[in-house]
Structure 1
């Protein structure tokens, strides 16, 4: 597939990578090709994932929380983290979710808002993949409006007592620690809930059509007693979880370019070998038009991701710019996968090719960490100065 990847780089974007970036990209790509790609079809079909094993392997690569400083983290550039997300999601969005939920949601929450003791306790093990974290914000009746959450924590002496539930939580049943956001008399606060605490249970969501190679769970809290030092001390209100989501969406913006690239590369190879009416279908005008439009769109997605990486590396990125990236890139990647499937014909509906698998995964990515509609309104608010959420 390397020849197809080269041909898809119409604007020579790879030429802009420095030696460190290229080495990182190639290292993760080799790991993906050797370890992940040979197994993803079976994981997806079975609806399973050896997440704990893979977390340790990702930890050995140094990609878990790689953009954070200290505590066993690499302190890499945001743009380098983006390269990693693209290579992992080129195999499957569920695998990138494992990486980004661990690093950009669970670890980032502790790194940005936790006490020094909390950071020392959790972050080194999470960076190594020896400990797994999850991020509990979404509830069955509280998705796009997290301010309406019902999960609550009340003080009882020096302790907190947590009640409620969370839904659609990646890595939930696997987590050694869950970062849980709850309503309190002091406003919304974050808490670290450890596996095995009395009253804390998790069950997996089954019968998924999308993100099958990913562990998705419900979390339940029934009078879970938490010590005072379980609370994240350095943030209060929705700016805590929303700040984490802004961090994680950067990984999505980059990751989906990998899914789109993989779908298009496999389609380009198929079109060159599939013969109809005496010649490869790649030689027909309608097929070439589709390929050209998809390739140009892919480069636009990659340029958007690269510009946002530059802004993030410079410390100048703003939430509405992240919304622009998620709005444009997830929609564009999904369009590429749908169009690519049409070139593959009947072959495109099987797992022999990755195209429709990427497409159904992207249906979830289109919705999670801010629906497409929510990001539309964020951009609209930035343009008009008027808030249309309510």
Structure 2
């Protein structure tokens, strides 16, 4: 006891007496951090400073404040936004023949182009004072999703001007003169914008763009003015072939000091009329056969006035930060909207197809293999819709959470790809035969488009989510890096010392919590709500603490090399991402009023998310470069093994059976894919067949019973068989007519298009 007492006294002295602590603990740790912490590049620093921390910060701290999650405002549409959906969007859907658009014209019809321009589909983010609609992010996401459920090409065309583009950059950073000059035309559709960022040798690495501009004097409108001489070569630029105004990102240099004393000014954004001398637009790409306009732009030695820089000369060199701040629309709204729309489409049509398609004398929805795929489709759709709503909430509350929008971009587009793949598997031959009645084919083909743009998904997962999240969202690391980088060593050490003690307490707390929850199965973890979802909160609290301690251990042991350990950092990013998706599901369940019918979907989604998070943690531990540390981490996080097993077979059956029932639940979970009798697109016909088949299901049972008893001969539904059923008084004439009508509708729904020649 005396020895233990002396040890305790020594610890209190070492950590409690400032001078001793700094000499024995903080100074060596300061030197260690200076050596191992990864340095921030200029572009990384600007990306960190551009975004802010939102719910992702709570998930990274090891003890999320769930009441904060529940306090975020509900997603609602204004009367004006709802009216636009009910009128302009509904009308647009009747004008879209996606098969003709993609397989025939390779362009939107002229009438559609005119309609989306005059009805202000390009102006969702433009302020009303300039003629725009100034819609919420939730409204923009919902509109793009509705359109994408019928035509991905039309949705992308609408999406681009309302996300990363001149309109948003002007609204945020433009001078008054620039706003007055361009925003009214962009709002009315008189001007069509594009934004050129991607270069052949610098795709996702925007900081390496080779396009250059040099500050100099030149002639414009007959006068000598200060300007920039530009050379650029860009590709993958959506709307470039039809654009009237070009947004351009380039690296600006000022060798003669005309703007100041800095020669390499940095990435800059300018706005250039498409008909300006030297601007080349027009050549199209062919993005997997999709019909949206996508192409190239080039210019060689093109002179523009200096005041064409977006924001004016004062914003020279601030382009990268401007772009990162505005990426939230493309990453967090538009691309996830496309994925969610595809999921709603797949869920509505696949659940219906399972009810009308028969094999071996039974509906395919009765096969467990089909139910397993259908359950994945429906539960992933619930997750996508939940994440869509939570992410747009961040944007609508003036947040700029760069980590969360990266999570949404990667995981939602990947979930969308998983859903459409499963839907194609269930539809089989129906899904692969293109034609006017194939409602899945073009969305399936377009799936990789969202995955490759706004930062390819591999880069987003391996470098961005955890790479930014670990530094940006951690409560201490960014501040410690700044303290270590302070040129005043004494001031830096003093600041570092105060942070280090808090960091140690934080790490010890997360280690103890992680081990405690591991050996108790999270049963003593806090839960903010009672009822069927309480257990899920407990598991997420445990996994949040696991992520926090694993992040600290990984950064301490691997240091700067963690940047190059992409598979390790990607798995840690997966943990954060699954925690975010699970949070979205829990919030959506609460916001929807804890619908009892939703519980199978909620449980499936959360069981899947926790399984994936635990799997990612296990992957980090198994592959940790320092094996001794890996064994320690396993003893800390999974001393009794990994028991996050995901949804069981009964859960899958519950979800599949629930989504195959017509009614409010199914309509609510697929509302982004509306059914309209005015539309002849294969979806409406399938839905009619599905409903008709459900109505006559009891009559089919009566027919099968009669066949088994010998009253009727066995065989498929036919006029002769139904006539015999009427004669045997198994069915009335009216019932036989109902069965025949349903059979005819089902046959039409499962038929595929055929052509005399191709």
Deviation of 1:144 (Å): 0.9
For structure 1, which segment, 54-63 or 153-162, has the greater mean C-alpha deviation from structure 2 after superposition? 54-63
| Corresponding position of 2:138 | 79
1:183 to 241, 251, 256: 251
Task: Tell me if the contact between 1:257 and 1:302 (Cα under 8 Å) persists in the aligned partners.
Answer: yes
For residues 58 and 29 of structure 1, the distance between their equivalents in structure 2, rounded to whole angstroms, comes to 9
Backbone CA RMSD of aligned residues? 2.3
Secondary structure at the residue paired with 2:563? Answer: coil
Please tell me whether the aligned partners of residues 66 and 74 of structure 1 are also in contact (alpha carbons under 8 angstroms).
Answer: yes
CA distance in 2, matches of 1:388, 1:110: 35
Asked if the contact 1:79/1:310 (under 8 Å) is kept, the reply is: yes
Question: What is the correspondence of 1:210-359 to structure 2 with a 5 Å cutoff?
Answer: 210=289, 212-232=290-310, 233=312, 235=315, 236-249=318-331, 250-352=333-435, 353-359=438-444
Aligned partner of 2:34 in structure 1 is: none
How far apart, in 1, do the equivalents of 2:307 and 2:75 lie?
46
Residue 275 of structure 2 is matched in structure 1 by 196
Comparing 239-248 with 187-196, which one deviates more in the overlay?
239-248
Equivalent position to 1:172, from 230, 233, 240: 240
Task: List gaps (5 residues or longer) in structure 1.
Answer: 1-14
2:103 counterpart (41, 45, 53):
45
Look up the match of 1:119. 179
Quote the Cα distance in structure 2 between the aligned partners of 1:354 and 1:141. Answer: 37
Query: Normalising by the residue count of structure 2, what TM-score does the alignment of the two structures yield?
Result: 0.47
* Aligned-residue offset at 1:46: 3.1
- Within 2, Cα distance between the matches of 1:302 and 1:107? 27
Greater strand content:
1
Offset from partner CA, 1:7-46 (integer Å, 9 cap, x none): xxxxxxxx9755735444333551343112xx11111113
CA contact (8 A) 1:56 1:128 kept: no
- Determine helix, strand or coil for the equivalent of 1:155: strand
**One of 438, 457, 464 as aligned partner of 1:378:** 464
Contact persistence 1:320–1:382 (CA under 8 A): yes
Query: Is residue 2:159 matched to residue 1:62?
Result: no
Q: Is the 8 A contact 1:56 1:130 kept in 2?
A: no
Change (3 A) 1:382 1:208: closer
Asked if the contact 2:199/2:234 (under 8 Å) is kept, the reply is yes
Distance in 1 (CA, whole Å) between partners of 2:286 and 2:389 is: 36
Greater Rg by CA:
2
Give the superposition deviation at 1:51.
Answer: 7.2
Whole-angstrom CA distance in 2 between matches of 1:159 and 1:360:
44
| Helix, strand or coil at the partner of 2:452 | coil
Counterpart residue number, 2:448: 363
My pick for the range that moved more, 44-53 or 291-300, is 44-53
Q: 1:27 aligns with which of 87, 92, 103?
A: 87
The alpha-carbon deviation at position 283 of structure 1 amounts to: 2.9
1:135-146 equivalences under 5 Å are 135-146=195-206
Which of 273, 288, 291 pairs up with 1:209? 288
- Identify the structure with the greater helix proportion: 2
Q: For the Cα contact (< 8 Å) 2:123–2:161, is it kept in 1?
A: yes
Change (3 A) 1:25 1:296: farther
Corresponding position: 1:97 with 2:97:
no
Is the partner of 1:366 in helix, strand or coil? helix
3-state SS of paired residue (2:428): helix
* Correspondence for 1:150: 210
Q: Secondary structure at the match of 2:107?
A: coil
CA shift, 1:333, in A, is 0.6
Q: Which moves more between the two structures, 312-321 or 377-386?
A: 377-386
Give the TM-score normalised by structure 1: 0.88
CA contact (8 A) 2:338 2:450 kept: no
Higher RCO structure, 1 or 2 (CA under 8 Å, sep 6+): 1
